[in-house]
Amino acid sequence: GQNIDQPTEMTATEGAIVQINCTYQTSGFNGLFWYQQHAGEAPTFLSYNVLDGLEEKGRFSSFLSRSKGYSYLLLKELQMKDSASYLCAPSSGNTPLVFGKGTRLSVIA
Amino acid sequence: GAVVSQHPSRVICKSGTSVKIECRSLDFQATTMFWYRQFPKQSLMLMATSNEGSKATYEQGVEKDKFLINHASLTLSTLTVTSAHPEDSSFYICSVGRDRGTDTQYFGPGTRLTVL
């Protein structure tokens, strides 16, 4: 089975940096996905970490520690359009992803 | 990535009727597609795995006679909600797995079902 823990809600100011943490427990682990989901829309792929460390992709970066069962998504230079839910999903291989409730981020002016 | 479409995007129906939702993989032949359901402010819940040319695999607690899945071709899977009730009102999303070596999933835009 899987256990995914993320904060339910976060609020941050436009232009700031925010870090969304995710801890997980899973039997079998290949890597960790982050998806973004705007209200009323389907999730979109953000990142996939397999190796330990930080991977940067523009304003978004994702970090993974396999030994600690921990990941975070770092969003820089926040924009209003970044208000969305961010879903952390550990992957055990070629199976459908299981998602937690996600973190609802509100960006305020 | 993969391009996935769903039709319709929104549907309103009366209680007791059936509704069919289509999921198409537009640029990739998908032997497997996944169907999720999401209630407001809840997580995506996997309903079933749709397998081309064979029966779908349903998750525990999902009634296969109520949620009929047909994956007749490599680009089309359909989900039919039979005898819909107001509690079936939800956001239904399909996804396709494409990238070899990973299980990255690409989602369709979703279908908002409202049962009156």
Bridge partner residues of A78 (DSSP): none
CB spacing of B103 vs A95 below 8 angstroms: yes
**Phi and psi based region of residue A96 (left: phi greater than 0; alpha: psi -120 to 50; beta: remaining):** beta
Please tell me the predicted confidence (pLDDT) of residue A98.
83
Average pLDDT for A25-52: 92
Give A43-72 pLDDT, tens digit per residue: 999 999 999 999 999 999 999 999 999 999
Q: Which residues of A touch B95 (CB under 8 A)?
A: 96
Using the predicted structure, report yes or no on whether residue A25 has a pLDDT greater than 70: yes
**Which residue carries 């999401």 as its tokens?**
B38
Digitized pLDDT (tens) for each residue of chain B, 116 residues in all: 678 999 999 999 999 999 999 999 998 888 889 999 999 888 899 999 988 888 899 999 999 999 999 988 889 999 999 999 999 999 999 998 765 555 788 899 999 999 99
CB spacing of B102 vs A98 below 8 angstroms: no
Q: Which residues, in sequence order, are CB contacts of A90 under 8 Å at separation 6+? A: A2, A4, A24, A26, A29, A31, A32, A33, A98
Is A102 an interface residue toward B (CB < 8 Å)?
yes
Q: Which residues of A touch B106 (CB under 8 A)?
A: 45
